[in-house]
């Protein structure tokens, strides 16, 4: 797989669903049906074992391209996943692998897909867009996929696998996000990635009892900035800045969210409440007692008032046009001094 295309990398085991969303079908389809993997190793087996979009690469690419035209504003409509079973599990036949792939697609609501069997796993590329123009929701798709895989394990008699932090919340505390292909190359080149360095620095600091101020000082000595922030809904979160970039729980792993850092032993001075140590949100400064909403609510009300004013102006323009046209072109037999009937022509569009 090309180094510059980490978005095409999707390693899905029966333990957790990591779903990538490629921008287009071409490179992904050609990769999964190609004779070598991303590391240049020759594949022992490549076979299309199930498809609703054609078995030839060019046909599948064209089909997915035409399907995309049904929802042109839905940019990321493709899924690329890879499903494998634990090494100690039983060997599956082609028909068994195909049934697993179809079960996953049907469970996720995907009707346009291709399933390709490699040596010990399958790849699936599919579209969220159906032929009737509707689109499958991608809300909580990682969690839904993993729960679906648990069902597939039972259905096909596969060895059960421990659920990830998406299903088993207790596993969120030590969770670290897996390395991307770019990070793997960085580790090979430099011995570590930025994310590895940040995680290791935090872990080392949390080995002893420490509060937020002390952790901030320790990390600053390593060149890492720690920022406690507050979302619009009042929930607290933490970000770590390093060499011009910010990293949060989504990039480091759920074990580095503010909630899980508190579980791991981080202390906040005063009440053990994340919000107590966070800055006051901008909309709460210098506000009267009666104002309870963020500034966005006022902007919405201003927009509604402008729209209502525009509507009144539009009706006034239409009324003036009808009155002027009726005076200039009175209908036969009507009183020129009267308003007369409304003209048959439609009033001009008001823009």
| 87 & 218 share domain | no
When pLDDT is averaged across residues 131-147 and rounded to a whole number, the result is 87
Given a cut of 70, whether residue 9 has pLDDT beyond it is: no
Kindly state the percentage of the chain with pLDDT values over 70.
Answer: 66
Shared domain check, 115 and 82: yes
- Of the listed ranges 35-39, 174-178, 236-240, 256-260, the least confidently predicted one is 174-178
Q: Flag whether 44 is in a domain.
A: yes
Q: Is the pLDDT of residue 259 over 50?
A: yes
- Considering the domain architecture, whether residues 154 and 43 belong to the same structural domain is answered as yes
**Domain span holding position 13:** 6-166
| pLDDT, tens digit (0-9, with 9 covering 90-100), for 271-282 | 444 444 444 444
Q: Are 238 and 198 in contact (CB under 8 A)?
A: no
Same-domain pairing of 158 and 189: no
What is the SS3 assignment for 86-119?
CCCCCCCCHHHHHHHHHHHHHHHCCCEEEEEECC
At 321, the pLDDT band (50, 70, 90 cuts) reads confident
Within-domain flag for 215: yes
Q: Are both 183 and 210 inside the same structural domain?
A: yes
Question: What separation in angstroms does the CA of 147 have from each of 116, 173, 178?
Answer: 22, 20, 20
Count of domains in the chain?
A: 2
Residue 93 and residue 160 in one domain:
yes
* CATH at 142: 3.30.930
85 in any annotated domain: yes
pLDDT at residue number 114: 96
Most confident of 127-131, 164-168, 184-188, 199-203: 127-131
Phi, psi (5° rounding) for residue 121?
-160, 170
Residues 108 and 150 in one domain: yes
Dihedral sign, Cα of residue 89, residue 95, residue 100, residue 101 = positive
Q: Are 181 and 67 found together in one domain?
A: no
**Radius of gyration of the chain, Cα coordinates, nearest whole angstrom:** 30
Residue 341 lies inside a defined structural domain of this protein:
no
- Residues 84, 214 within the same domain: no
Residue 95 lies in a domain: yes
Q: Which of residues 234, 258, 279 is at a domain's end?
A: 279
237 pLDDT more than 80: yes
Least confident of 124-133, 168-177, 264-273: 168-177
The predicted model gives 214-241 an average pLDDT of 84
Rounded-to-integer distance, Cα 266 and Cα 205, Å: 9
For 88-111, what is the mean pLDDT?
89
Where among 115, 146, 166 does a domain terminate?
166
Model pLDDT, residue 318: 72
Report d(CA 302, CA 156) in Å as an integer.
Answer: 58
pLDDT at 135 over 70: yes
- Within-domain flag for 96: yes
Q: Are 134 and 248 within one domain? A: no
Q: Please tell me the predicted confidence (pLDDT) of residue 322.
A: 75
pTM for this predicted structure: 0.52
Per the domain annotation, does 288 fall within a domain? Answer: no
Q: Does residue 297 lie in a domain region?
A: no
Same structural domain for residues 139 and 202? no
**Residues 47, 142 within the same domain:** yes
Last residue of a domain, one of 166, 190, 208: 166
Q: What is the predicted pLDDT for the residue at 330?
A: 62
Strands 210-211 and 266-267 turn out to be: parallel
């Amino acid at each position: 797989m090309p180094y510059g295309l980490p978005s095409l990398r999707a390693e899905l085991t029966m333990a957790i669903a990591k779903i990538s969303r490629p921008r287009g079908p071409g490179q992904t389809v050609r990769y999964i049906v190609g004779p070598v993997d991303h590391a240049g190793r020759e594949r022992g087996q490549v076979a299309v074992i199930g498809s609703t979009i054609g078995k030839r690469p060019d046909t599948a690419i064209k089909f997915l391209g035409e399907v995309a035209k049904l929802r042109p504003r839905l940019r990321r409509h493709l899924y690329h996943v890879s499903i494998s079973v634990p090494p100690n599990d039983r060997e599956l036949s082609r028909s068994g692998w195909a049934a697993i792939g179809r079960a996953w697609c049907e469970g996720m609501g995907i009707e346009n897909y291709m399933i390709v069997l490699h040596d010990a796993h399958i790849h699936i590329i599919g579209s969220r867009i159906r032929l009737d123009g509707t689109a499958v929701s991608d809300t909580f798709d990682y969690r839904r996929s993993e729960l679906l895989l648990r069902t597939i394990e039972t259905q096909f008699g596969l060895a059960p696998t421990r659920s990830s932090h998406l299903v088993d919340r207790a596993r969120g505390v030590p969770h670290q996000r897996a390395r991307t292909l770019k990070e793997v190359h960085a580790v090979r080149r430099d011995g570590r990635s930025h994310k590895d360095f940040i995680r290791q620095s935090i872990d080392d600091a949390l080995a002893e009892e420490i509060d937020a101020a002390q952790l901030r000082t320790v990390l600053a000595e390593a060149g890492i900035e720690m920022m406690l922030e507050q979302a619009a809904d009042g929930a607290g979160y933490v970000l770590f800045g390093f060499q011009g970039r910010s990293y949060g729980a989504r990039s480091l792993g759920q074990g580095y969210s503010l909630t899980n850092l508190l579980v791991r032993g981080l202390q906040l001075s005063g009440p053990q409440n994340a919000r107590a140590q966070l800055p006051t949100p901008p909309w709460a400064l210098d506000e009267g007692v009666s104002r309870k909403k963020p500034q966005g609510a006022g902007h919405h009300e201003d927009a509604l008032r402008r729209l209502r004013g525009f509507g009144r102006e539009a009706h006034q323009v239409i009324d003036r046009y009808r009155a002027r046209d009726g005076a200039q072109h009175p209908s036969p037999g009507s009183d020129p001094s009267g308003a007369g009937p409304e003209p048959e022509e439609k009033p001009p569009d008001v823009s």
